[in-house]
A and B are shown apart, each in its own frame.
Chain A
Amino acid sequence: MREMSDRFVDLLRNTKIRLLQLHRDANCGHLGGNFSCIEALMTLHHRVMEADDRFVLSKGHSAGALYATLWSLGHLSDADLQTFTRDDSLLPGHPSGSGIPGLMFSTGSLGHGPSLATGLALAARHKGLDHRVFCLCSDGEWQEGSCWEALSFAIHQRLKNLVLLIDQNGLQGFGRTADVISCDDLTPRIAAFGADVEKINGHDPDAIVKAIARPPNGVPRVLILDTVKGRGLHFEGQLESHYLPLSEANYAAARSTLEREGCQ
């Protein structure tokens, strides 16, 4: 666990601005889900994960946030980011599992990541390695039965080296999760399966670090990240943030907000 420094605060703000620019340049949507999980991605990669730890982005539609995070780590360059969703690129709108260090699988179809991460965790245990496996999901994604298959299996296998993070922003592609499937909080459902669950503010890096640092209790840990979709953007908390790209005016306004307010 690493402390939050001024440098991290600056880096997080700059990365959010780079993410905004990334999507503006590509005229690409899915901003809402990117801005609900960028703090979690940055916190994991800069303050939590060790070199051998594994990461799976199950909510592949937040590829931009992951690419921006990898940029903040120096693993991707500005030139790389300029190819985002363009021809002859290694950075499609949902990540490919080849060509970029740290990306282990092609994700984007929801409900795959928890099983993939579970397999990685099982392999680590078999090999006697002590690295951890982190997997970031969306909340709508848990409407896929495969997520519950994976959760049941991982709990049964007592994979304490597995940490699932669920970006619970309450909005999905065509409605609110509460309206679509009568679920606005996954916490009690996942707790009922026997996981070690904790609900935290998903925009608070310190809360994420603290929750992960808590000693494992023998089963996978699931962190429910209470977040706001499109946080800081003009369509914050609105369904439109799922698909619509930014206009120039909205981009300028969002950038100005980020520069003025910082990352918190």
Chain B
Amino acid sequence: MRKAFADAILAHCNHDDWFFLTGDLGFMALEEVEAAFATRFVNAGVAEQNMIGVAAGLARESLRVIVYSIAPFCYARPFEQIRNDLCLGRLPVCLVGNGGGYAYGHMGPTHHALEDCAAMNALGVRVLVPAFDDDLPALLAQLDAPTYLRLGYDIRPVGQAVAEYAPWREVLPGSCGAIAALGPIAGLAWQALADLDIDARPSVWAVCEFADAEIPSRFLDQIAGRPLYVLEEHVAQGGLGMNLALGLAARGLAAGRFVHRPALGYPTGRFGSQAFHRAQCGLDASSIRSMVTGRKNESRRQA
């Protein structure tokens, strides 16, 4: 999503009252943004705590600020600065964490972000997890409070178009319950189940925000007495599954069955690519398909 993000920044945020701060990241991705923003593009160096404080100072003077880094360096290292400097003042700074979940795969666990959404959500930061490249312009148009934008990879089936951005979107219809997938995992579930008959698969919903009020009634209808599957490249604690369960409980609702597939950390103590870690958590296409069909090691049918 880095290219789509850069394009969206150039299209929607390149105004005199916008600053772009990076923690020394963006090589082969942000060069055009750097050129366009000129003095408003600041490489704050490898100093994330200062970067957030500077962003707060800029925002306090009515400037809009994008802060960019690899996800864990963006939300975890400067956590207190986010809490005190941004959130207490409700300043409109957008923290952009590139590589949510296991996206930095081979780089190792220090570069993974598995609890970012929960941490930011707990502070009252608006958490946005775009599922598709197309989502970025809409998301960047609504940054009026502390926001955390978690970037990953758009992995929808090749050639497929997606509907206009909404916090919840049904991207694949189905009649056997519903999958709520956090951000890009929706594209993976879509890939995994697209060739199953509509009567033999759950619907797939791309969930890009945690806002409880946004749960659509159509989704609630689909899980009444039927299975609800929650897929997220994020730990269970404070993630989509927990938030969704709370939302259902508050409405006095329950799905027919609740299946939760969160990120499990590093269950074998071994490390690898994003695909390796997803598979260890049952978040690969084969596992998702098996989860739905009940048959193990099932691969997608060849078209």
Binding site for B on A (CB under 8 A): 96-98, 104-107, 109, 111-112, 114-124, 126-127, 145-146, 149-150, 152-153, 156-157
| CB of A122 to closest CB in B, whole Å | 6
| CB of A257 to closest CB in B, whole Å | 37
With A97-B88, A123-B63 known as contacts, the answer to whether A153 contacts B54 (CB < 8 A) is: yes
Contacting pair B57 A122 (CB below 8 A)? yes
Contacting pair B57 A116 (CB below 8 A)? yes
Residues of B with C-beta under 8 A to A107? 84
| CB of A200 to closest CB in B, whole Å | 26
List which B73-109 residues lie within 8 A (CB) of chain A: 80-81, 84-85, 88-89
Residues of A with C-beta under 8 A to B47? 146, 149, 152-153
A-B contact count (CB 8 A): 101
| 26 A-B contacts (beta carbon < 8 Å) | A97-B89, A104-B60, A105-B60, A105-B84, A114-B50, A115-B49, A115-B54, A115-B56, A116-B54, A116-B56, A116-B57, A118-B50, A119-B55, A119-B59, A120-B57, A120-B60, A122-B42, A123-B61, A126-B19, A146-B50, A149-B47, A152-B45, A152-B47, A152-B50, A153-B45, A157-B42
Q: Say if the beta carbon of B58 comes within 8 Å of chain A.
A: yes
Contacting pair A153 B44 (CB below 8 A)? yes
A19 to B208, CA, bound (A): 51
Contacting pair B61 A120 (CB below 8 A)? yes
Contacting pair B54 A122 (CB below 8 A)? yes
Contacting pair A118 B60 (CB below 8 A)? no
Please name the residue on chain A nearest to B59 by beta carbon.
Answer: A119
With A109-B84, A152-B45, A153-B44 known as contacts, the answer to whether A146 contacts B57 (CB < 8 A) is: no
With A96-B88, A112-B85 known as contacts, the answer to whether A127 contacts B53 (CB < 8 A) is: no
Q: Say if the beta carbon of B52 comes within 8 Å of chain A.
A: yes
Contacting pair A126 B40 (CB below 8 A)? yes
Contacting pair B49 A146 (CB below 8 A)? yes
Please name the residue on chain A nearest to B53 by beta carbon.
Answer: A115
Contacting pair A106 B57 (CB below 8 A)? no
| CB of A153 to closest CB in B, whole Å | 5
Q: Say if the beta carbon of B142 comes within 8 Å of chain A.
A: no
Please name the residue on chain B nearest to A153 by beta carbon.
Answer: B50
Please name the residue on chain A nearest to B55 by beta carbon.
Answer: A119
Binding site for A on B (CB under 8 A): 19, 39-40, 42, 44-45, 47, 49-61, 63, 80-81, 84-85, 88-89
Given B45, B58, B81, B85, which contacts A122 in the complex, CB threshold below 8 Å?
A: B58
Residues of A with C-beta under 8 A to B45? 149, 152-153, 156
Contacting pair B84 A112 (CB below 8 A)? yes
| CB of A96 to closest CB in B, whole Å | 7
4 nearest interchain CB pairs? A119-B57, A115-B53, A149-B50, A123-B61
Contacting pair A127 B61 (CB below 8 A)? yes
A119 to B19, CA, bound (A): 11
A124, A146, A157: most-surrounded residue (chain B CB, <10 A)? A146
Contacting pair B61 A105 (CB below 8 A)? no
Contacting pair A150 B50 (CB below 8 A)? yes
Q: A105-B84, A120-B58, A124-B61 are in contact. List 20 more A-B contacts (CB 8 A).
A: A105-B60, A105-B88, A106-B85, A107-B84, A115-B52, A115-B53, A115-B81, A115-B85, A118-B53, A118-B54, A119-B58, A119-B61, A122-B42, A123-B60, A127-B61, A146-B50, A149-B45, A152-B50, A153-B44, A156-B45
Residues of A with C-beta under 8 A to B51? 115
Given B49, B88, B89, which contacts A145 in the complex, CB threshold below 8 Å?
A: B49
Residues of B with C-beta under 8 A to A156? 45
| CB of A94 to closest CB in B, whole Å | 10
Please name the residue on chain B nearest to A108 by beta carbon.
Answer: B84
A120 to B85, CA, bound (A): 13
A69 to B44, CA, bound (A): 34
| CB of B285 to closest CB in A, whole Å | 43
A117 to B60, CA, bound (A): 10
| CB of B50 to closest CB in A, whole Å | 4
With A97-B89, A123-B63, A126-B40 known as contacts, the answer to whether A115 contacts B84 (CB < 8 A) is: no
Contacting pair B63 A112 (CB below 8 A)? no
Given A104, A119, A152, which contacts B53 in the complex, CB threshold below 8 Å?
A: A119
Contacting pair A117 B49 (CB below 8 A)? no
Given B44, B52, B53, B59, which contacts A114 in the complex, CB threshold below 8 Å?
A: B53
Please name the residue on chain A nearest to B49 by beta carbon.
Answer: A146
| CB of A90 to closest CB in B, whole Å | 14
A24 to B166, CA, bound (A): 56
